[in-house]
Structure 1
């Protein structure tokens, strides 16, 4: 495990592959960690890629440098963290690849700083930039049901529940979101150690409250959020991977509702039997997508 100061964080991260290879930054989601990319990183490293796999803010060994920094989980924070990490590691361009929160960070960076993105791989929703202006609009009842945890986290009871039962709650989400993935307890425990980060609860709760208008953002990130409010298109080569068994997204529509958000070369791939944690459930497909977007 390596560590570097980037922006307001001391980022813990893993590297794999040759230092001189093309770079892929692999970004995990909630509630997962860098072990989601163990197999992907091995495949890419064998193909000559340099893989950088950081713990996001609030996870694993990543720490805030100042006690006074807001423990924000908003989308602007995730994108800014990614850009700061690239600056700190002196990475001019990379394939940005992620799912869930990590996919959001990758989409934000690819949309706002496309010169830094050689390509994008995003899972699930695909265009993962939140439209906060429409956050109060109800979704279809079945989708609202699948988002029960987001409403739970709006309450004091939900915050206490995450703090007190974080492993049981996160294990439940793994099962609900990837119903056909037969992970074992050792696999879960390896990732669940990352949830013991002292800022995990604060960052998670803020993330879900901010996206629904229940918490203010970090004032230092207002300019980035203002740019994201325009729902900017993503101009870099992009592949969206969607698990057909994703318990967050639910049944996938035949129509690709994300395509209009991408201005560059774009493809959508649906993965039968795969749930929310695409890189860990389908590492070969994920690694192939990383290499494909690099080729344009």
Structure 2
């Protein structure tokens, strides 16, 4: 990504904080590809700045990435109005140790990114900077060129919105792994009853194909309909040879689908009372970049 000549200290500063910058932009945009573009633009801006005028490189870079993300987020929202079928964030393979920090894992979970999508751009930025990374209201005010009082009000409003729309589904990592393994075994065996038993009674499934591949255009509801749809999709001739395995995606044990070793989809979900709920299938080939390798979200977080 970094191919512009610059002073060694500029590269050192950017590399030191790159994971924080990636984590910030990804939570704001829900897109790996857009996040990489923002980081490229941030690097270009950073490589040209007079660093003698920058007292705090970390704060300067976070401010730059935040504002670049807000600009991109505003334009992305218009495109999503014409999106074919349900829109879901781009999944991201994350280092296993991210799941050891419950708050960090939750802040990047697919469920959280879906809720953040319902916030306005500035509210989303304030929430991410405050709740995920612990920046002070004063620091965020400086990033966004707003008063500290305004940021406090925005943070409160965003937090209340997330609390109202984000139901917490608590399951320890070991239980989640066990349920995931049972679900994979049931799907592999084509056992309809076993799949249904692992789904919550009020289960809903979303499938994001973006009009690029076949996917359900509307959410599916109920154990019978969702289970039959899953097994029907897996039985399609064109998907014979597809493999699926447990993987840590967006900080949680999930399912990765591959064909000839290449990622073709991801399934993330919530678990309630030992059953799968809110299944989110991402199969849009344009949104699978983040499944090609591990991100570094688990290192610098604040």
Query: Higher Cα Rg: structure 1 or 2?
Result: 2
Structure with bigger helix share is 2
Range class of TM-score, shorter chain? under 0.3
TM-score, normalization by structure 1: 0.28
